Structure formats: C-alpha cells, structure tokens
Chain A
Amino acid sequence: MKKRILALAEASRVHLVETLATRVAEICLEQPRVQCVEVTGGETDGAALCSECSVTIVRARNSA
C-alpha cells in the first residue's frame, strides 16, 4: 500500500492536498478488509511557523 501511495503521489498534479488525500483514501478502501480510513496530509513547508499544518479526511466504506 505504501508503494502504491508513493507511486500515486509521484504521478499526481493536484491543486490541493485534500485531493491527494482523497485519492489515497480510495486506494486504501480498495482493500476489502478496510472499513474506514483516516488520511492526514500536510505540506512540510506549510508547517514552517507552527507544529503542524495539515488536513485530515475520513472516508468509510459505506460513504465512499
């Protein structure tokens, strides 16, 4: 799964980290055992002046 996420990110051109996070969640939910996933994404530059600057999305199988 980690390799798939890395490949996805390398190939992606997105406007927002939220979009990337959504695509990552879709990959996770392709695994039949995964019922729900919480994806947090943050640009390291964004955290220059604070401890964290990130977005978290939650996608459940029944709402995917």
Chain B
Amino acid sequence: MAALEFAPRISVNAVAPGLILPPAGRDLDYLERLSRSVPLQRFAARRTWFKLLSSCFRATSSQDRSSTSTVEHISTPGVHVSDRLFIRDLLVRCHVGLSDEELRERQDVLISLVLYLDLAQAAAAIASRTRSTTAT
C-alpha cells in the first residue's frame, strides 16, 4: 500500500519476514509452536534476517542515500538544541535476539550518539572560572 501511495517520488521496498519475534506478551514457546506449521519447521534467527535484508537493500541504498540529521528540525521554545556532542561507534557486547545462537552468544553492536544540549552555560562557567583565576 505504501508503494502505491508514494510512487514514484518514494520507492518502497517491503519484505514479509515471517516468524522472527513473538508478539507482545508471548514467549519463545509460542514461536516454536507456530514454527511447526510452516514448511521450514523453524523460525528465522534475526541474524539471518539481517543478512537477507542487507542484500535486498544494498542496491537501492547506494543510489539514494541522504543522511541528514533529523533532530535539527526539533526545537523547543527557549531551548537551544543546536550544540551537539558526539560519541561515535561505541562498541558494546550485547545479547540481541531469540534464537539459540543469539541467546548463547553476545553480539557486537555499534552505538553512536548525538547529544543535543546547550553548551553556552558550560562554556560561560569555564570562561568565568578562567577569568577569576587570571585576576588573582
């Protein structure tokens, strides 16, 4: 539906992943029961799904990749959010997913942060401290 609605301005790729995660309030047993009713007799690991998805979107992402920060459009009256602090590619090890492999082994996840905050006060505080040190 989204493809019909937005074409040709936006191209929409969609993939129906099947059994990946249980719905809210259900656990792994629910997925295992359901998996008996599908031809493969199993549910997919998220890792497999990621790889499939990566290859599907590989072609389209290279053509049309605009990575602008979305936050620049958010502004709260009276609050400056144009100052930014970055933490890029913080490597963490985390259990992500539900398959046996994912439950057994931690995976590498890269976390990047852009913190929007008003640095004027901090800068002013340091400047005044420097001035008072210089004066004495």
Contact = CB atoms under 8 A, between A and B. Distances in A.
Query: A and B from one assembly?
Result: yes
Contact of A35 (B70, B108, B109, B118): B118
Measured as residues with beta carbon below 8 angstroms from the partner, the interface class of chain B is 35 or more
B89 to A, nearest CB: 9
Interface string A1-43: 1100110011011111100110010001001011111111111
Contacts of A46: 47, 50-51, 53-54
**Main SS of the interface on chain B?**
mixed
Given A17-B109, A58-B71, A34 B115 contact: yes
Given A35-B116, A38-B69, A40-B112, A58 B74 contact: yes
Interface string B63-104: 000000111001010011100000100101111111000010
Measured as residues with beta carbon below 8 angstroms from the partner, the interface class of chain A is 35 or more
Interface of A: 1-2, 5-6, 9-10, 12-17, 20-21, 24, 28, 31, 33-51, 53-54, 56, 58, 60-62
26 contacts: A6-B92, A9-B111, A15-B46, A15-B97, A16-B46, A20-B109, A33-B121, A34-B116, A35-B76, A35-B79, A35-B117, A36-B74, A37-B113, A37-B114, A37-B116, A38-B70, A38-B71, A39-B112, A40-B112, A43-B47, A44-B109, A44-B110, A46-B54, A53-B50, A54-B110, A58-B71
